[in-house]
A and B are shown apart, each in its own frame.
Chain A
Amino acid sequence: MKKRRFVFAILLIFLLEAAVVFMEGREEASQDAVAVNKIVKIVENNWESLKGHSDSSGFVSDFDYVLNRNHNGDLEPFDYVVIDDKGKVLFKTRDRLSETISQAVSHRDTILDVEQSGAAVGKVMIYNSWEENLVTRKRRAILCLLLLLLIQAVCLAGYAACLYGTLVKPFRKLEGFAERIAGGNLDIPLEMDRQNLFGAFTESFDIMRTELKKARLAEAEANAEKKELVAKLSHDIKTPVASIKAASEVGFALAESERMRENYTQIIQKADQINSLVTNLFTATLEELQELTVMPGDMESSEIKMLLENADYLHQAEIPDIPPCLVWADRLRLQQVFDNIFANSYKYADTAIQVQAEKSGGWLTVELEDAGGGMPKEEIFFIKEKFRRGSNAGAVDGAGLGLFISDYFMEAMKGTLTLENGEQGLKVRVSVPLSGGM
């Protein structure tokens, strides 16, 4: 509905502009025909006195009432010149009027014959004041047009702002969202505005994110099961192998011939080999994380404030200014670390979060503390381990990977991630090295 009104307004302005141009262009000099005839009449009546230059003062007073309606609608006296048939000027209302016929013609004055008993004896040239008025009219027209253009510009600027709000801004938001998804962070929902043109569109993106997250979780679960299976199997394999080895060692000690001893040695060696292979198999499942790349570089510490603000999508924290310096970090991965910390706090504490930042030595440290009461001391030491979840995890979804990955990222950035119980809740300390310190 709004759109139609807007289009209507724009059209109206265009019409007004066209009207102004049309009116101003059409308006021609139009002299009052009755008044003009009256002048001729009076000249004819007073011809003799004009000719003889006698008593012209009375003549002029006769003319005073012959008025012209100019373009403004005001009445003003005509200006004109009277000449006789030889071209001699008999009378003029003021100076600087056209005094010969050729001048009058080029100035587009109204030229009328003065007749005296049926014969033309002179001419009245009524001055065309149209050109003088032209300048003022032009100025007025330009002013009108400028005003209309201004209104139009304001309308267009409003429209542009509206377009920015409805089109560009949601896309910007989407951009940051897509970057996080690409970086493998599926925990942060996309804020959306249903009234927006793209509300439904962005919602489907968020659905995609939750689906991806589900898939990721299922994968992590499968991985965890696989790991458990491997751990179990390796344990199951290691036990009989250890028995074989022990028995072989006894056999080796009791063997009578050299040949037998050699056989037993071989059995022991192979048992050791199986043992190390099983151990390798066990550790190999833990190595897949190395595929996550971390590429730190120099960045200004003010960007960390933006990262924190991005991560705090429920606005539970007041983010302080970060001491100005250059730090060595990977923007995307650091974002993921903060995302994880905030998401954890939202999930398990759901309180306000205090954030502090300070620079000391070669480090910039950001401390985040919620008021959720922290976690049992004996759990804190192990909470960063893979697949480890706190005892209060309950029904909250998660795979126990967040802090493990965050810790891995921080290590790869040559930074640290430490957890401890603060006065009110869990205190997480993220330290990144300053640039140039290496």
Chain B
Amino acid sequence: MKKVIYKTENLSKSFSSGGRLQHVLKNIDLELYQGDFTVIMGASGAGKSTLLYALSGMDVPSLGTITFGKQVISDLSQDGLSVFRREHCGFVFQQIYLIDSMSVLDNVLCAGLLVCRDKKALLRRARELFQAVGVNEETQRKFPTQISGGEAQRVGIVRALINAPDILFADEPTGALNSQTGLDVLNTLTKFNEQGQSVVMVTHDMRSACRGNRILYLKDGAILGECSLGRYVHGDEKRHEKLSAFLTEMGW
């Protein structure tokens, strides 16, 4: 039996535009498990990113509760939420937002120092992570404007993982990358997941989705269905077929 790290009850999010309420998430009851690579798919406007933001504490739901472990994060204040995000979550976005005036290494350490004061330990962990994602020492000394998009995204992953978060949130991490560099980033994420890192990824790219072991399909703010794929095995054609069949059934 897998350990539940996230549990939502009746999670709903409404935005008001022009005096009309728009309900983006509707009564979502969801459990996320430790060690899973959960992929959230769905058409544009289905509420994928809104769900990710609500789970990660970047946004507050209009209704319902979100429980992380024993902590009810939907009740937290903005300050409480930022502490929660800092200690438990890592984020990888489509845009990487590295600080241009700091070297790659400093960018990563800067995020780490918010949580951990032990600079030596941080440096050691940063080196390990950089090695794991394949960013060499020379690149680490460069500035964000001097590195490629694929490298930047891998640095983004290192920055997200420097605090050893309980869960890594990725919102279209390969959206802005070309085919090969996107593949590198996916391989990196898959590798960390194999080492036990819980990942939640929003994507509408099937190749990316294929990496997950649990696929959730969102439609009109509700979970229409889910598909269990099992652990990722490279070059498994059946996996792709199964996902494809699931998505067709969901009306992808």
- Seen from chain A, the residues whose Cβ lies within 8 Å of a Cβ on chain B are 298, 300, 324-326, 359, 434-438
The CA of A324 and the CA of B11, in the complex, are separated in Å by 10
Which residue of A324, A326, A359 contacts B26 across the interface (Cβ within 8 Å)? A326
The CA of A266 and the CA of B129, in the complex, are separated in Å by 91
The range of chain B's interface size is 10 to 19
Task: Determine if B10 is an interface residue (Cβ-Cβ < 8 Å).
Answer: yes
A436 B14 Cβ-Cβ under 8 A: no
Which residues of B lie under 8 Å from residue A325 when comparing CB positions? 10, 12, 27, 63-64
B23 A324 Cβ-Cβ under 8 A: no
Chain B residue at minimal CB-CB distance from A328: B26
Contact A324/B10 with A434-B27, A435-B23 known, Cβ cut-off 8 Å: yes
What string of 1s and 0s marks CB contacts (under 8 Å) between B1-15 and chain A?
000000000101010
Chain A residue at minimal CB-CB distance from B26: A436
Contact A436/B63 with A325-B10, A325-B12 known, Cβ cut-off 8 Å: no
Chain B residue at minimal CB-CB distance from A359: B10
Chain B residue at minimal CB-CB distance from A435: B26
Apart from A300-B62, A435-B23, A436-B223, 10 more pairs, CB < 8 Å: A298-B23, A300-B63, A325-B27, A326-B12, A326-B27, A434-B10, A434-B26, A434-B27, A435-B27, A436-B221
Among A434, A435, A436, A437, which residue has the most Cβ atoms of chain B within 10 A? A436
The CA of A141 and the CA of B242, in the complex, are separated in Å by 85
SS of B interface (majority): strand
The CA of A438 and the CA of B23, in the complex, are separated in Å by 15
Which residues of A lie under 8 Å from residue B63 when comparing CB positions? 300, 324-326
Task: Determine if B54 is an interface residue (Cβ-Cβ < 8 Å).
Answer: no
The CA of A438 and the CA of B21, in the complex, are separated in Å by 20
Which residues of A lie under 8 Å from residue B62 when comparing CB positions? 300
Which residues of A lie under 8 Å from residue B221 when comparing CB positions? 435-436
The CA of A434 and the CA of B222, in the complex, are separated in Å by 11
B26 A298 Cβ-Cβ under 8 A: yes
A-B contact pairs, 17 of them (CB 8 A): A300-B14, A324-B64, A325-B12, A325-B27, A326-B10, A326-B23, A326-B27, A326-B63, A434-B27, A435-B12, A435-B23, A435-B26, A436-B27, A436-B28, A436-B222, A437-B27, A438-B222
Which residues of B lie under 8 Å from residue A359 when comparing CB positions? 10
Chain A residue at minimal CB-CB distance from B28: A436
In chain B, residues 212-226, which have Cβ atoms closer than 8 Å to a Cβ of chain A? 220-223
In chain B, residues 1-53, which have Cβ atoms closer than 8 Å to a Cβ of chain A? 10, 12, 14, 21, 23, 26-28
The CA of A359 and the CA of B64, in the complex, are separated in Å by 12
Which residues of B lie under 8 Å from residue A298 when comparing CB positions? 23, 26
Which residue of A300, A324, A435 contacts B222 across the interface (Cβ within 8 Å)? A435
Which residues of A lie under 8 Å from residue B21 when comparing CB positions? 300
The CA of A215 and the CA of B52, in the complex, are separated in Å by 56
Nearest CB of chain B from residue A408's CB, rounded to whole Å = 25
Which residues of B lie under 8 Å from residue A438 when comparing CB positions? 222
Nearest CB of chain B from residue A58's CB, rounded to whole Å = 79
B220 A436 Cβ-Cβ under 8 A: yes
The CA of A434 and the CA of B64, in the complex, are separated in Å by 13
Nearest CB of chain B from residue A411's CB, rounded to whole Å = 21
Which residues of B lie under 8 Å from residue A324 when comparing CB positions? 10, 63-64
What string of 1s and 0s marks CB contacts (under 8 Å) between B198-242 and chain A?
000000000000000000000011110000000000000000000
The CA of A438 and the CA of B221, in the complex, are separated in Å by 11
Which residues of A lie under 8 Å from residue B12 when comparing CB positions? 300, 325-326, 435
The CA of A437 and the CA of B14, in the complex, are separated in Å by 17
The CA of A434 and the CA of B23, in the complex, are separated in Å by 13
The CA of A325 and the CA of B13, in the complex, are separated in Å by 10
Which residues of A lie under 8 Å from residue B10 when comparing CB positions? 324-326, 359, 434
Nearest CB of chain A from residue B137's CB, rounded to whole Å = 50
The CA of A75 and the CA of B61, in the complex, are separated in Å by 73
The CA of A273 and the CA of B26, in the complex, are separated in Å by 52
Chain A residue at minimal CB-CB distance from B14: A300
Chain B residue at minimal CB-CB distance from A325: B10
The CA of A300 and the CA of B63, in the complex, are separated in Å by 9
The CA of A434 and the CA of B29, in the complex, are separated in Å by 11
Chain A residue at minimal CB-CB distance from B62: A300
Chain B residue at minimal CB-CB distance from A323: B10
B64 A437 Cβ-Cβ under 8 A: no
Nearest CB of chain B from residue A226's CB, rounded to whole Å = 43
Which residues of B lie under 8 Å from residue A326 when comparing CB positions? 10, 12, 14, 23, 26-27, 63
Chain A residue at minimal CB-CB distance from B220: A436
Which residues of B lie under 8 Å from residue A434 when comparing CB positions? 10, 26-27
In chain B, residues 45-74, which have Cβ atoms closer than 8 Å to a Cβ of chain A? 62-64
Chain B residue at minimal CB-CB distance from A300: B63
Nearest CB of chain A from residue B219's CB, rounded to whole Å = 9
Chain B residue at minimal CB-CB distance from A433: B27
Which residues of A lie under 8 Å from residue B222 when comparing CB positions? 435-438
The CA of A299 and the CA of B222, in the complex, are separated in Å by 15
The CA of A435 and the CA of B222, in the complex, are separated in Å by 8
The CA of A424 and the CA of B63, in the complex, are separated in Å by 35
The CA of A436 and the CA of B216, in the complex, are separated in Å by 14
The CA of A437 and the CA of B219, in the complex, are separated in Å by 11
The CA of A325 and the CA of B29, in the complex, are separated in Å by 11
The CA of A437 and the CA of B221, in the complex, are separated in Å by 10
